[in-house]
Amino acid sequence: MERPEAEVVRRRVVVHGRVQGVGFRESTRRRAETAGVRGWVRNRPDGTVEAVFEGRPEDVDLLVAYCRVGPPEARVVRVEVVAEAPSGVAGFEIRRG
């Protein structure tokens, strides 16, 4: 009997607060790679951090939970989370702008 494909989910998050200049993108990238989550993270001109996570639901949930706290120097005020259709993104990258 064939094993069914693992479920893949995609979440787009926008993190508000003091989240730029505190290592948010790099720490998110490291955690995503460790968890096997694909996607990207970037600073936005409005001072927020935006990220897209694709992977197994439990792994994506861990990344979303991390975004609610961030690295020690961050002060997260609010996190917007939107479910999207997976697009098959490969790897995890820090995007510029």
What is the per-residue pLDDT across 13-62, written as a single tens digit (0 to 9) for each?
999 999 999 999 999 999 999 999 999 999 999 999 999 999 999 999 99
pLDDT of residue 3: 47
- pLDDT band at 83; cut points 50, 70, 90: very high
Domain of 33, in residue numbers: 9-88
Global pTM reads 0.92
Q: How large is the average pLDDT for residues 53-77?
A: 97
Domain-embedded: residue 65: yes
pLDDT higher than threshold 60 for residue 1: no
Catalogue the active-site residues.
Answer: 25, 43
Please count the helices (runs of H) and the strands (runs of E) in the chain: 2, 5
Domain-embedded: residue 4: no
Domain-embedded: residue 97: no
Domain-embedded: residue 1: no
Q: How many domains does the chain have?
A: 1
Domain-embedded: residue 13: yes
